[in-house]
Structure 1
Amino acid sequence: MAVRREIQGIDGPDPLARAMGDAQYIADEGLATAAYLALALGKPLLLEGAPGVGKTEAAKAIASVLGRELVRLQCYEGIDAAAAMYEWNFPRQMLAIRQAGDEYVNLYEDRFLIARPILQALEAPRDRVLLIDEIDRADHEFEAFLLEFLSDFTLSIPERGTVRAGTPPIVVLTSNRTRELHEALRRRCIYHWIDYPDPALEARIVTMRASTVAEDTARRVVRAVGALRAKPLAKPPGVAETVEWAEAATLLNSQGVAWPRAFARAIGVVLKDQDDLDYIAPRLEALLAEGVA
């Protein structure tokens, strides 16, 4: 298939990975390749993985590399097409009618139109990256609507006509895989699964994201988080929690709290579920002795 889109001086996966690194995101070969192919071939990029592995951050890094605004559509149960496309500002329309008196008011001017993420992306496809976040939280009806949108990148506004992108917008979808996505949606995307990083990579992420954290502390906190993820937790910590725990423990240590007590006192930064805290509490001392010794 012929390359359809030039990517601002990025001529392959490796240059893209380096550029994402400059944007404070470490992309492995698989992610860099999938992202490059999606960009070059003009196809949506579908990223799946457990919560907290860096799917949304990858989309932010891609937007940063391209120098584009990230427009985020956060999916949720019950989301409808209006929340994704556009709405008319009814209160403002009514106010305009009252103020106009007997004069004619065009209720479908731009000033009354509230552009939602999909319309924003279609209006400026060369300036924006559309992130459709946690698509698995939406229902099948909304997924069918997105399938149609991703097929032709058009949007029909009955009062205004059809909005069509001159060039396919860059679209990144993420899923925590709480349910299976429709096969037709998957076929339209370049797919990549993001797993938890290996300990060495996660330690690099910690030192990159948290400049106050020493390399030795980063390695210790990564070992401890790995031990936590091996437990039957309701909400295993993601990479962001690893970084935050390292920062919090480093702060407490700088104020005189000794290791590994600093990690124990900052446990609420890495575990954010009461049942998980209750489960870990009697095991925390042994876990820290194993993980951060």
Structure 2
Amino acid sequence: MSGGDGPADAEVTDATDAGMDVTEDDLRERFEAADYVADDTLVTTVYLALRLGKPLLIEGEPGSGKTELGKVLAEGFDTELIRLQCYEGLAAENTLYEWNYTKQLLAIQSGEESVEDGVFSEEYLFERPLLRALTADGDAPPVLLIDEVDRADEEFEAFLLEVLSDFQVTIPEFGTVSAARPPIVIITSNRTRGLSDALKRRCLYLHVDAPDYETEVEIVRRKVPGLDAAVAAEVCAIVQELREGAFLKRPGVAETLDWARAVAELRAPADDSDLTAAEIERTIGTLLKEVEDVKRVDTTLLERLERAAREAREAQEEADGARSGAGESEATIDTDAETDAGAETDGESATALDDGTARGG
């Protein structure tokens, strides 16, 4: 990190310099390696954000995988994840830097430093998330995850917009610090309040909905591999049913995964029996997080959830059977082809032997 009177020469001003050298296929492979299920819209939007060097604003319900995306990108690019958790009353200085006043005072008292010469230097500076994201010097830019920006005040949002405009900040006693290479910026919002048009214009935008049934089953099977496929189908069918209800807080993907892991933990290994009403009821705290919602889980609702689970299991077992049958058919075709090829080879060998005998005679 270096300070000065003006922006550093390394400040990035165009998309060509700012963009990362990555392809959509490469991005898909990184998501696959991290077992992160991403559709084409998500992959393309993230790709464009990386190539254009733009922050990505992701909105959606809590538990829909917004924060996980930042973590997956940091893991996929083998770089540092710098997380700034927003909250009401968050001030700019809490996100940028803080002077180590105790160390400064000790240095002045010991005569090692003077106020004029050196106590306002990098040695006495605590870097907070935004400043650390600007000064990171790894092989790949860090991922700056600004989580739940809607919980912060509008004043902080305006300050954040200023930082993201030029990827530089000015510290009065130190100078201007500019990013040699802008971080990958992921901003998440649960939409508890509207964000300014100015911030939205600065970013690319992605809205993440709760996944459909098929996608959620895929997520559970990847993240909780120890859970039987039919049970995973039951889990996701029940969650989908709960999302249709008028609950204060509907379960998100995070709750689905928590419940899937809870079911797997409470069962004996290789237990693929049907989910029961008793099993659902005693683990409902992993799905519903409001007492009013929990109290709504009565016999009628449990019967409906059991019915949804049973239908999902039947569909899953039918699909697994069809895939198994298709695999056996392909194996039979391959075996027949090999047999035919072997017979043809034997026939050619016999013909060649007869020809050789005839020529010898």
Correspondent of 2:71 among 52, 60, 70: 60
Q: What is the DSSP-based 3-state SS (H/G/I as helix, E as strand, rest coil) of the residue aligned with 2:297?
A: helix
Correspondent of 1:209 among 223, 232, 235: 223
Query: Contact 1:24–1:61 (CA<8 Å) still a contact in 2?
Result: no
Q: How does 1:55-134 map to 2 (within 5 A)?
A: 55-98=66-109, 100=110, 102-105=111-114, 106-124=118-136, 126-134=140-148
Distance 1:90 1:242 in 2: 46
Q: In the alignment, which residue of structure 1 is the partner of 2:323?
A: none
Query: Contact 1:222–1:242 (CA<8 Å) still a contact in 2?
Result: yes
Q: What is the DSSP-based 3-state SS (H/G/I as helix, E as strand, rest coil) of the residue aligned with 2:267?
A: helix
Deviations 1:102-135 (A, max 9, x none): 5534322333211111101100164411111111
Query: Contact 2:113–2:119 (CA<8 Å) still a contact in 1?
Result: no
Query: Contact 1:17–1:26 (CA<8 Å) still a contact in 2?
Result: no
Correspondent of 1:17 among 2, 9, 28: 28
Q: What is the DSSP-based 3-state SS (H/G/I as helix, E as strand, rest coil) of the residue aligned with 2:41?
A: helix
Correspondent of 1:270 among 266, 287, 292: 287
Distance 1:249 1:86 in 2: 44
Deviates more, 1:166-175 or 1:47-56: 166-175
Are residue 245 (structure 1) and residue 262 (structure 2) matched? no
Change (3 A) 1:265 1:166: same
Distance 2:279 2:124 in 1: 54
Query: Contact 1:221–1:291 (CA<8 Å) still a contact in 2?
Result: no
Are residue 7 (structure 1) and residue 40 (structure 2) matched? no
**Residue 190 of structure 2 aligns to which amino acid in structure 1?**
N
The percentage of aligned residue pairs carrying the same residue is 45
Deviations 1:142-168 (A, max 9, x none): 000011111111111111100011232
5+ long unaligned stretches in structure 1 = none
**Residue 285 of structure 1 aligns to which amino acid in structure 2?**
L
Q: In the alignment, which residue of structure 2 is the partner of 1:47?
A: 58
Distance 2:142 2:181 in 1: 12
Change (3 A) 1:82 1:2: closer
Are residue 178 (structure 1) and residue 192 (structure 2) matched? yes
Distance 1:248 1:2 in 2: 46
Distance 1:5 1:88 in 2: 30
Distance 1:143 1:6 in 2: 24
Change (3 A) 1:63 1:290: same
Q: How does 1:147-162 map to 2 (within 5 A)?
A: 147-162=161-176
Q: What is the DSSP-based 3-state SS (H/G/I as helix, E as strand, rest coil) of the residue aligned with 1:280?
A: coil
Which structure would you say has the larger Rg? 2
Q: In the alignment, which residue of structure 2 is the partner of 1:259?
A: 275
Shift of 1:236: 1.0
Distance 2:160 2:208 in 1: 22
Query: Contact 1:70–1:128 (CA<8 Å) still a contact in 2?
Result: yes
**Residue 7 of structure 1 aligns to which amino acid in structure 2?**
M
Query: Contact 1:4–1:40 (CA<8 Å) still a contact in 2?
Result: no
Shift of 1:78: 0.5
Supply the RMSD in Å over aligned alpha carbons: 2.1
Q: In the alignment, which residue of structure 1 is the partner of 2:208?
A: 194
**Residue 228 of structure 1 aligns to which amino acid in structure 2?**
L
Shift of 1:96: 4.0
Distance 2:100 2:304 in 1: 55
Q: In the alignment, which residue of structure 1 is the partner of 2:342?
A: none
Deviations 1:31-57 (A, max 9, x none): 111100000001101111010110000
Distance 1:265 1:249 in 2: 10
Deviations 1:178-216 (A, max 9, x none): 111100110111111111111111001001111211111
Change (3 A) 1:103 1:194: closer
Shift of 1:264: 2.3
Distance 1:271 1:163 in 2: 46
Q: In the alignment, which residue of structure 2 is the partner of 1:221?
A: 235
**Residue 20 of structure 2 aligns to which amino acid in structure 1?**
I
Q: How does 1:272-287 map to 2 (within 5 A)?
A: 272-287=289-304
Equivalent residues, number: 289
Distance 2:175 2:15 in 1: 32
Q: Which one has the bigger helix percentage?
A: 2
TM-score, structure 1 as length reference = 0.92
Q: In the alignment, which residue of structure 2 is the partner of 1:165?
A: 179
Q: What is the DSSP-based 3-state SS (H/G/I as helix, E as strand, rest coil) of the residue aligned with 1:241?
A: helix
